[in-house]
Amino acid sequence: MIIDTDPGIDDAMAIAYAVAAPEIELLALTTVFGNTFVGQSSRNARYLLDRLGVDVPVAQGAALPYGASDYQPSAYVHGPEGYGDMVDIPEVGRNHALPAAEYLVEMARAHKGELVVCAIGPLTNIADALRLDPEFGRNLKQLVIMGGAVYCPGNITDAAEANIYHDARAADEVFAAEMETVLVGLDVTLQTLYTPQDFETLAGASVDMGGFLRDISQFYLKFYKEAAGLEGCGLHDSTAVIACAHRHLFDLAEVGVSVALDGPELGATRTDAARPKIKVCRGIDHAAVVGLFSDHVARLP
- Given a contact cutoff of 8 angstroms between Cβ atoms, the answer to whether 121 and 163 are in contact is yes
Taking the C-alpha atoms of residue 176 and residue 274, their distance in angstroms, rounded to an integer, is: 9
pLDDT above 90 (res 217) = yes
In order, the DSSP letters of 126-181 are HHHHHHH-TTHHHHSSEEEEE---SSS--SSSSS--HHHHHTHHHHHHHHHS-S-E
Taking the C-alpha atoms of residue 186 and residue 154, their distance in angstroms, rounded to an integer, is: 7
| Least confident segment among 140-144, 163-167, 228-232, 282-286 | 228-232
Per-residue model confidence as pLDDT tens digits over 2-53: 999 999 999 999 999 999 999 999 999 999 999 999 999 999 999 999 999 9
pTM, two decimal places: 0.98
The sign of the dihedral angle between the CA atoms of 213, 210, 96, 142 is: negative
pLDDT of residue 34: 98
Per-residue model confidence as pLDDT tens digits over 160-207: 999 999 999 999 999 999 999 999 999 999 999 999 999 999 999 999
Is 248 a residue of the active site?
no
Distances 55 to 9, 29, 49, 139 between C-alpha atoms, Å = 20, 11, 7, 25
pLDDT of residue 164: 98
For residues 66-92, give the mean pLDDT: 96
The sign of the dihedral angle between the CA atoms of 220, 86, 196, 46 is: positive
pLDDT of residue 246: 98
For residues 257-273, give the mean pLDDT: 97
In the set 4, 6, 128, 237, the catalytic residue is 6
- What is the share, in percent, of the chain residues with pLDDT greater than 90? 99
Is 236 a residue of the active site?
yes
74 pLDDT tier (thresholds 50, 70, 90):
confident
Across the chain, what does the average pLDDT equal? 97
In the set 236, 237, 286, 296, the catalytic residue is 236
